[in-house]
Amino acid sequence: MIVLVAPGQGSQTPGFLTPWISDAGSRALVEQLSDAAGVDLVAHGTTSDADTIRDTAIAQPLIVAAGLVTARALFDRVDRSLIAGVAGHSVGELTAAALAGVVTEADAVSLVTVRARGMAEAAAAEPTGMSAVLGGDEDELLAKLAEFGLEPANFNGGGQIVVAGSLDALARLAAEPPAKARVVPLQVAGAFHTRYMKPAVAALETAAAGVTAADPALSLWTNHDGSIVASGRQYLDLLVQQVASPVRWDKTMESFQAAGITGQIELAPAGALTGLAKRGLKGVPTVAIKTPDDLQAAVDLLQGAAA
């Protein structure tokens, strides 16, 4: 049983779409998704610099488009029925929604554009940030977060929790970390998946209400609590609220294990979720599809599992 996973914001790097759009079909898809997003994803995926694609309003539709392009290329080579299910990390949940048939590709990109703009505006309203906390005791960390006015944003599993809040509070945490923990500041625009993002929820909620949602055609895990969601509308509702609540990727990986997942394939811009799987899904084979050259390894994993 192989699961397909879609990464979240921060996984993009300058020029990462370049090898993908050398294929005419992939380029045409990116151009179509650019129209849906109102953003030139071809330019941002090939020539824009790191600062430009770090902008939330650009990064999120770019990442979703990349995942959809990767999946199309994969399913041109192997039957999609070999995939047992799909999940996305944070903004990757919209990629997952399209791959599971909950929404169309165009609707996924339209929704992510609303999400991205709302989160960018919320982040600009007040200086905030995020830091990764590696190691240490989770209960001790959560107590410190409550004391400092910070919030957990991503429970990534394998001893990694991303926290968020005011810059002063993050600096204090770095100066007074939990025992045996390391605090690493992240280059992000604001405190995503916390109360600071509540202004972004309303606009996305309105946009999602106007989209037709079908029930998933394959197993679809939610970041809310790691469970499999059978209702497309419920999945979208959870996805909307997730903007201002923590991502529980730790529970998602636990659910993968409980479901008997035997392999994981990560869509472009891949790497982050493959790294988390090495700690949270020890012994499970993984493939990170970073460029078209990695597609054959993914095909081999799927065909090997089917055999």
CA R_g for the chain = 18
In angstroms, the Cα distances linking 9 to 23, 140, 189, 193, 224 are 25, 27, 11, 12, 17
Residues 90, 110, 219, 255: which is the catalytic one? 90
Nearest to 110 by CA among 6, 180, 210: 210
Residues 110, 193, 219, 255: which is the catalytic one? 193
Query: Distance (Å, rounded) from C-alpha 111 to C-alpha 184?
Result: 31
- Residue 193 falls in the annotated catalytic set: yes
Cα–Cα–Cα angle for 105, 189, 67, rounded to 5 degrees: 25
Q: Which residue matches tokens 């397909």? A: 4
| Token duo for residue 244 | 């201002």
- Residue 90 falls in the annotated catalytic set: yes
* Through-space distance between the first and last CA atoms of the chain, rounded to whole angstroms: 11
The residues annotated as belonging to the active site are: 90, 193
